[in-house]
Structure 1
Amino acid sequence: MLQTKIFSCLLLIGVSFNIKAQDSLSLFKKLNNQYNQERDFKNNFYYNPASMSGYSTSSFSEFSTGYQDNKENIYRQQLGNGSKGLTIKAQSFQKLKPHRFVWGSAGYQNLKTSIVNWNETLDYERIAPYITSDSVGGKLNLERYLFSGGYLEKINRWTVAGQVSYSAQMGYRSKDPRMKSTTSDLRINAGVNYKIFREYEAGVFGEFNKYTQNNSTQFQSLLGRPYVYMMSGLGFSNALFNGGTHPTNTFEEFAYKGGFQISNKQGKDFYLQASIGKSNNIKSYNDGSNTFHNLSDLKNEQFEVEGAKFFNINEKHRIGLLTEYTASQKTGSEYGYSMNTAIMTQIFKREAYRRENYTTFVKGFYQYNQDSFSITAVPFFGYEEVKERRLYPNSGQKFVYSYFGVNADYKQQVNNNQMFTFQPYFYKRMVNQSINALNTTGNAAVNEWVLQDYMFQASEITTFGMVLRYDFKLDKLPALFVTAQYQTQKIQNTNNNFAGASIGITF
């Protein structure tokens, strides 16, 4: 019943916008604008909602449904060895008037993830290392929901815009350990741009984010149950709260981000932007009583800067260069309690964990346009440094990576009402340095997991993939499309494979 309501809601979003009559332009020209690769290339530019006025020269909408099957032989145990399931999504961008724009999207996903181990929580990358773990795990059923909408208004030299997005997840398992987790993630973005000279604009933007995860693990077997750990990083855990019979955890996070942006010709000539953000994620614990105890406080400070420049060489050739840098520092503080009194009492809070991540990417852009086809190539190179360490006891690891690869796009008009798209891609992660300064925990199973996780992060990864798409339009109907995607990823001389397909309409 719930899936039917979601499907109906998505379909309503897809068709509720104004459907404009088809003009004499070919399907190729319409879709070449709708799926402009330059838009994806500078996707972070539209993080400022006030810059959405340059998102597209025309209105468009899309509705699609698809199925994916991801099988991984080499994987991080806490993320599972692949998933398969259904995805439904709708999105639209509408120019209501020359000075007014709206956009929105919605999505639903139903996945079954296999063999998730040492992790009984969702959103691992967000809350790690303070996850709940056990040695058994199992298959995980996961449902995701997403809704977002934005509005932009131009007033003389000013452009004001805002966007609200909400996503939710529900993960559960029907066998012991019976994990159940729900998440909610609310984001509110706002931006203001001002035209300072000719087509030069300067703007500021900001975001507020409220995130919650409620997580519990239940057992029904009378023959025994696995031991539950309150992890605190690199295999270590909080011994005082380990082993609960019905552990319940709550993660509460508040985050904010602010930045500035300067651009020319709505980012088509150049843009430069920078932002800084902070978040604070508190984990609390309960094992059947009415009292919750804080276990950890994870703070994340992030700085991002990005700039891009584009050039036109006559009307057919366009080139660009983009550079981005991101620095992130997570600091985890842990709480200590005393049980020497009738009531458990907090006796300290100390910083015990830190993860630093520094990433630099340089991307090139080349596009060649003709009346009946277009070719786009995006080569890139990246460098990343990751440091992770904890105190009490001392333990740590470090990784230095290099990345290189290329994404390509070829669109070909078959006739006035048909189009073919081919998108091959390749990237490689090379490990320049990996340092293992991990300390043993006294638990052989945990030590084995931590070592396997280190070996995965210390492995080179080579990825090849491609997407094929065919669009066609029938009389008196919106344009239809079918897509197919295949990807193979080589890690430790073993291949992980992904396949997916979807069908949809554009209008």
Structure 2
Amino acid sequence: MLTIKKTFYLLFIVIGSLSVKAQDSLSLFKTINNQYNVERNFKTQFYYNPASMSGYSSTSFSEFNVGFHNKDDKAYRQQLGSGEKGLTVEAKSFQKLKPNCYVWGNASYQNVKVDNIKWNETLDYDRVAPYITSDSVGGKLNLERYQFAGGYLQKTNLWTFAGQISYLAQLGYRARDPRLRSTTSDLRVNAGINYKVFREYEIGVFGEFNKYTQNTSLTFQSVLGRPYVYQMVGLGHSNNLFNGGTAPSSTFEEFGIKGGLQISNKEGKDFYLQASIGRANNVKSYNGTGNTFYDISDLVDENYQIEGAKFFDLNQKQRVGLLANFTSSVKTGSEYGYSLNTTNMTQIFKRQAYRRENYVSTIKGFYQYNQDHFSITATPFYGYEEIKERRLYPNAGQKFEYSYFGINADYKQQIKENQVLSFQPYFSKRVVNKSITALSTTGNAAVDAWVLQDYQFQASDITTVGASLRYDLKLEKLPAFFVSAEYQSQKIQEKNNNFAGASIGITF
């Protein structure tokens, strides 16, 4: 972890040096309006192809900020915790070195404490579930995250070449029984090539390689007793052969690849259409005592996505757009069986026993009105999601169908030439159209109660309202300074989950 820290601090210095390089002579309002462009966030997936980053911004910009947040949940999934509080330090930059050469990068450090985690002793739950390690005690989790990324793009008359490397490392630990220690590393390498086929029409190909590792161990100091440790296999069921253990440890190894095609006009400002397909294979190994690890599960995620967007300029001040997206993820879990008839355990079978299908369709609208001293943007959306989860041996399953709708708004106002105020209210609602359960009892009352509570949470409507407020000030011969605050409230099962955050920083 010391090596990661040194690399992290070095990247901060590199990003800082890039930031000082070139300052574009725009007014503060125009700088902020470009740097926090709502349309750029609206079509985030378009920039998944690094060769399309040449249209990311017309000017260079950088930011450094420090923030604190506090999340307090009254209704929650026990395996994810009842909220968190922590500190985030972040730096990011996008620089045009030459008219045909671009670089970008970001680095962040986060230190958070997650409250009341139960039935989960692994990190990155959504990535490794259902093959998690669980116990009935859990507790507060201390978590540190180190993340950095950097990209480079080079253009010629007809070709654009670009690549990006990103890395995320995590350290999670607990100072009291059950004493969890978990580390993760997540390396992603992206590359893309665009070719100008006619006027401003481009066709591109892009791909990604991903290598992920998680090492997790549990230890106990108390001699008076310890909770029973389960190796879960989905919907409350567990692997009886590998349950228990005095100091169980596990390793997750994942390799993933993804590739896609993209067609766009005017660097995505007119329209774009893209599709991608990917596959990741995550293998969990277990070690109870000694140095021998046994593969106990294999989780394959096959996913694809298609997205298209079209934009229109009604006049010089008004712009509208429409985006449609469909995402599919199908996870198939295979489990290994071992024989204990000999001195050493011997693998005797591997069978598919788990499947989770997730399909999401989304439509988003975009409207923006720009004036010299203010801008207004609204992005309404509607989505439909279907989740099917089931397992064999024994049979169990559940299904959910959701509708999502809401709107995000953005208002930026120049107060004076050196002051800008930004206000971003938002509203969303999740409506449960259908929820079906076919859960089977596990013979353990505590586990059954957890699984039922988790089902009830997923079968609940969620209403979210919130807003953020930001103030930017530019003093002579100094970088622009900003302060921001955000508050959010969620209503779930007649209970309120609250989030509050604040940050302070500078922009270049």
Q: TM-score, normalised by structure 2?
A: 0.98
- The count of aligned residue pairs is 507
In the alignment, is residue 127 of structure 1 matched against residue 131 of structure 2?
A: no
AA matched with 1:201: E
Counterpart position of 2:332: 331
AA matched with 2:18: F
Residue 416 of structure 1, CA deviation? 0.8
AA matched with 2:207: G
Correspondence list, 1:157-176, <5 A: 157-176=158-177
Check conservation: 1:11, 1:63, Cα contact below 8 A.
Answer: no
SS in 2 for 1:17: helix
Counterpart position of 2:453: 452
In the alignment, is residue 394 of structure 1 matched against residue 379 of structure 2?
A: no
Check conservation: 1:10, 1:89, Cα contact below 8 A.
Answer: no
RMSD across aligned positions (CA): 1.3
In the alignment, is residue 470 of structure 1 matched against residue 500 of structure 2?
A: no
Residue 23 of structure 1, CA deviation? 6.0
Indicate how the Cα distance of structure 1 residues 246 and 398 shifts in structure 2: closer, same or farther if over 3 A, else same.
same
In the alignment, is residue 271 of structure 1 matched against residue 281 of structure 2?
A: no
The 2-side partners of 1:22 and 1:103 are apart by: 15
Counterpart position of 2:195: 194
Counterpart position of 1:376: 377
SS in 2 for 1:245: coil
The 1-side partners of 2:227 and 2:28 are apart by: 58
SS in 1 for 2:503: strand
Counterpart position of 1:96: 97
The 2-side partners of 1:19 and 1:286 are apart by: 50
AA matched with 2:71: N
Check conservation: 1:7, 1:88, Cα contact below 8 A.
Answer: no
Correspondence list, 1:40-439, <5 A: 40-439=41-440
Residue 396 of structure 1, CA deviation? 0.2
| 1:264-313 deviation per Cα after TM superposition (whole angstroms, max 9, x unaligned) | 00000000000000000000000121211001000000010000000001
Residue 9 of structure 1, CA deviation? 3.9
The 2-side partners of 1:500 and 1:6 are apart by: 28
The 1-side partners of 2:449 and 2:14 are apart by: 48
The 2-side partners of 1:310 and 1:360 are apart by: 20
Residue 7 of structure 1, CA deviation? 7.9
| Identical positions, percent | 71
Residue 10 of structure 1, CA deviation? 5.8
The 2-side partners of 1:86 and 1:255 are apart by: 31
The 1-side partners of 2:42 and 2:379 are apart by: 8
Q: TM-score, normalised by structure 1?
A: 0.98
Indicate how the Cα distance of structure 1 residues 271 and 385 shifts in structure 2: closer, same or farther if over 3 A, else same.
same
Check conservation: 1:10, 1:106, Cα contact below 8 A.
Answer: yes
| 1:300-349 deviation per Cα after TM superposition (whole angstroms, max 9, x unaligned) | 00010000000001100000000000011000000000101111011110
AA matched with 1:96: L
Check conservation: 2:23, 2:60, Cα contact below 8 A.
Answer: no
AA matched with 2:239: N
Question: Which segment is superposed worse, 6-15 or 315-324?
Answer: 6-15
SS in 2 for 1:19: helix
In the alignment, is residue 30 of structure 1 matched against residue 24 of structure 2?
A: no
Check conservation: 2:12, 2:107, Cα contact below 8 A.
Answer: no
Check conservation: 2:230, 2:243, Cα contact below 8 A.
Answer: yes
The 1-side partners of 2:158 and 2:177 are apart by: 61
SS in 2 for 1:442: coil
The 2-side partners of 1:312 and 1:349 are apart by: 57
The 1-side partners of 2:370 and 2:20 are apart by: 27
Indicate how the Cα distance of structure 1 residues 248 and 23 shifts in structure 2: closer, same or farther if over 3 A, else same.
closer
AA matched with 1:99: N
| 1:126-161 deviation per Cα after TM superposition (whole angstroms, max 9, x unaligned) | 000000000000000000000100000012200000
Check conservation: 1:424, 1:467, Cα contact below 8 A.
Answer: yes
Check conservation: 2:19, 2:61, Cα contact below 8 A.
Answer: no
Check conservation: 2:137, 2:178, Cα contact below 8 A.
Answer: yes
Check conservation: 2:22, 2:60, Cα contact below 8 A.
Answer: no
> Which runs of 5 or more structure 1 residues have no equivalent in the other structure?
none
Residue 96 of structure 1, CA deviation? 0.3
